[in-house]
Amino acid sequence: MGKRFDYEYIVIGGGVAGISAAKQLAEAGRKVAIVEKNLLGGNGTVFHDVPGAMLSNIMHLYSRSVAGSRFGLSSANLQYDYNKLMAWRQRAIIKANTAKKELDALGVTVIQGRARFIGTYDLVVEGAGEPKNVSASKFIIASGTLLETGGISGLETTPFLTPNTALATVRPPKAVMIVGGGPTGCEIAQYYTELGAKVVIVELSDRILPAEDEDVSKVIEQYLAKKCGVKIFTQTRVTNLQRDEALTRVTFMRGGEEKTVRVETVVLATGYKPNTDLDLPKAGVSFDKKGVVVDRTLQTSARNVFAIGGVIDTHCSTEKAIYTGELAVMNMLDRTKTNGNYNGFMRCMDTDPQLAIVGLTEDDLLKRHRKYRKTLVPLSAVTASIINDETAGFIKILADNQGKILGAAMIGPNASEILQEIALAIRHNLPLIEVASTPHKEDDWNNIVKVAAKKLLLTNN
């Protein structure tokens, strides 16, 4: 490392991707700094994954306990304590967010503030005090994402919640409009209904979960509408928010008409855009609307800069973000470059029933004009459905004519754990017959994988 550099590596962004990269570099004996403008841990640890999963699990348990009366259980006096829920949320975040302690132990310097490039090897970090200039021979951009507000007016003067703040309200809301029917919007919608709120989802597309295939959307929409009481307005665009005394007045376009409704709380689950506000041209880094442009090794247009996580893929899961951090470090330290392998990463939604998807969808295959076979097996096809009185959901597996598994989706209990078997098969090119011939416990939910695989082997679709 040249003497003029303050550090050998600087990681911009202290989310799970950036922390993963910084730790690995430090363990390799490199002098490393990490720059973060907010809290170390990012959305995965601090705002969404950990607190979201914890709260959802508790409220799903509460909801199922209330519904247990059909089995003869008494839930007449069952209640939840919202203040204790929030206390548990905070404890979970503290337990999970060990990043600062781990980085300190590895000798990683943590710099608080917003980073901007001022040259090929130089940053300015603007925080609470005077701006600070720091330099490094190499950089990793892990700046993550920002909320995409979708051009809604009135946001500057009207209070609203985001996926990061929706799970930390002082009290549970009574009437909520959620703008956006993607996975996050659906998760928050069910969580609020379990708290007792009346919820409306507004989605611009013609169905919720528009990025997934229609079979998935239909089941989730029916469940949210019929079981949870969520009202769902598709092909609807919110145009304006305005505070109206104690409520929020929402203006939206539906069926060519402008309409208004008043609700207590609005949550913007409108998706994310890459956080590229780093003066990237000054470092010679190319970017576009999709994020920082990288090659298959995660190197940017600047030889000394790599990029990882949400800033290169706004749909990046926590697991995929960590993987990109590890891959980038491997390629920065080793002259033998390794291309990314993203096969087998799941997309999950922590509703109840849970949704998990791995590999390609039918829509993907149709757009690529690829031939495929498919099978869809409902939950009612396995013994676990009788044992648990659970029928809302299915497993769907897609394969080519040679028996190679192309993708799968499952809606049902423990879906992400059950589809891990399919993820393993996709990542390591295990043929469908290997899954179909693997013994599965007859009365467990994961037996549905074997049932579906055997059925698909016999189909000629």
- Considering Cα of 209, then 211, then 212, then 218, what sign does the dihedral take? positive
Whether CATH 3.50.50.60 fits 7-41+97-147+273-333: yes
> Do 350 and 53 form a contact (C-beta atoms < 8 A)?
yes
In the predicted model, what is the mean pLDDT of residues 119-140?
Answer: 94
Count of Cβ atoms closer than 10 Å to residue 164 Cβ: 15
State residue 3's pLDDT score.
57
What is the distance between the alpha carbons of residues 39 and 41, in angstroms, rounded to a whole number? 6
The one-letter amino acid code at 384 reads A
Q: How confident is the model at residue 125 (pLDDT cuts 50, 70, 90)?
A: very high
What is the distance between the alpha carbons of residues 253 and 241, in angstroms, rounded to a whole number? 13
Whether CATH 3.40.228.10 fits 175-270: no
The one-letter amino acid code at 362 reads E
Residue spans of alpha helices (H) in 36-98: 42, 49-67, 82-96
Helix (H) or strand (E) holding 254: strand 247-254
Task: List Cα–Cα distances, 459 to 19, 277, 393, 438, in angstroms.
Answer: 46, 51, 21, 19
Give the fold, CATH level 3, of 346-458: Enolase-like; domain 1 (3.30.390)
In the predicted model, what is the mean pLDDT of residues 293-307?
Answer: 98
User: What's the first-to-final CA gap in the chain, in angstroms?
Assistant: 60
Residue spans of alpha helices (H) in 177-237: 183-195, 214-222
Residue 192 burial by CB count (10 A; 0-12/13-18/19+): exposed, middle or buried? buried
Placement of tokens 């909320």 in the chain? 147
State residue 2's pLDDT score.
45
> Do 95 and 101 form a contact (C-beta atoms < 8 A)?
no
pTM for the model stands at 0.93
HSE toward the beta carbon, residue 214, CA cutoff 13 A:
3
> Do 117 and 136 form a contact (C-beta atoms < 8 A)?
no
Q: For the chain, what percent of residues have pLDDT higher than 90?
A: 86
Asked if 7-41+97-147+273-333 and 346-458 have one fold, the answer is: no
State residue 189's pLDDT score.
97
pLDDT tens, position by position, 57-75? 999 999 999 888 888 888 7
In the predicted model, what is the mean pLDDT of residues 330-346?
Answer: 94
State residue 460's pLDDT score.
60
Q: How confident is the model at residue 1 (pLDDT cuts 50, 70, 90)?
A: very low
Task: List Cα–Cα distances, 43 to 1, 46, 278, 326, in angstroms.
Answer: 33, 5, 19, 19
- Please, which residues bridge with residue 200 across strands? 177, 231
- Of the candidates 178, 175, 174, the residue with the CA atom closest to the CA atom of residue 162: 178
pLDDT tens, position by position, 136-183? 999 999 999 999 998 899 999 999 999 989 998 999 999 999 999 999
Q: How confident is the model at residue 392 (pLDDT cuts 50, 70, 90)?
A: very high
Domain map (residue ranges) of the chain = 7-41+97-147+273-333, 49-89, 175-270, 346-458
> Do 453 and 432 form a contact (C-beta atoms < 8 A)?
yes
pLDDT tens, position by position, 274-290? 999 999 999 999 999 99
Residue 258 burial by CB count (10 A; 0-12/13-18/19+): exposed, middle or buried? exposed
Placement of tokens 């507004």 in the chain? 202
Q: Quick check: 267 pLDDT over 60?
A: yes
